[in-house]
Amino acid sequence: MTALFTDDAYLSTCEAVVTGITPDGAIRCDQTCFYATSGGQPGDTGFFERANGDRIAIATTVTGDSKADILHVPAEDQPVPEIGEKLVLHIDWERRHRLMRMHTACHLLSVVCPHPITGASVSETDSRVDFDMAETIDKAEVTERLMQLVRDNHPVFTRWISEAELDANPDLVKSKNVRPPRGLGHMRLVCIGADSAIDSQPCGGTHVSETAEIGDIHIGKIEKKGRENRRFRIRFGPAPS
């Protein structure tokens, strides 16, 4: 299974061959542009187009035995494709693009708020990021600093590094509880700004290619979750006045 979204987050459609169907009816293909739920970003929805034009609606995409095992979960009562059948895969691009904008906004929040991340969840309408931090911070100020990074339109790009390079730069990992997967010999860094000047951190998700594409966002609220935990909610649109 080749995960095409790793190298091209903007690939909304691709051809694929069915390589397997699980007992639960999930579909495996030789390659896919469907992102599988991971790292706080939900899996893609969309449909598979058969040669005769019929559609197989895909309700979600998840990982199976390993991160590389991507399972497309059909909606109820969908036709079942044959092993070896050629399909054209179409993701719900409007939804995915919103997720890419939100996910990239989470990276910017970790720049504005440089504390260890204890949890994150991205959705179409908002995102939450939990930080291990004790101090109180003004949400209007966070919004303004986020929007400055958006307006500055920094490039967002990926770069592969070796595990040895990561070991030499342990500060690259901002997540407190989640360690990037080891044993592959290399991992993907998501970098923001020329020469990664703004940020770089290991991430397997999908992101927009420049920060201005995020558009208007604001911090909806900051909740205190325990003495040393703050939960930030990022929402689309300008801050309500």
Q: How far is the CB of 206 from Zn ion (least distance, A)?
A: 8
Q: How far is the CB of 84 from Zn ion (least distance, A)?
A: 35
Q: For residue 42, state whether it binds Zn ion (rule: CB under 5 A).
A: no
Q: How far is the CB of 204 from Zn ion (least distance, A)?
A: 7
CA 132 to chain centre: 21
Considering only 113-121, 134-142, 168-176, 185-193, which stretch makes contact with Zn ion by CB under 5 A? 185-193
Residue 118, CB half-sphere, CA atoms under 13 Å: how many?
11
Site for Zn ion in 186-205 (CB under 5 A): 190, 203, 205
Residue 83 burial by Cβ neighbours in a 10 Å radius (0-12, 13-18, 19+): exposed
Q: For residue 74, state whether it binds Zn ion (rule: CB under 5 A).
A: no
Q: Which is nearer to Zn ion, 28 or 103 (CB)?
A: 103
Alpha helices in 84-173 (DSSP H): 93-112, 139-151, 163-168
Q: Which is nearer to Zn ion, 90 or 107 (CB)?
A: 107
Site for Zn ion in 204-223 (CB under 5 A): 205
Cβ–Cβ < 8 Å for 187, 202 = yes
Cβ–Cβ < 8 Å for 191, 199 = yes
Which residues of this protein are in contact with Zn ion, per CB under 5 A? 190, 203, 205
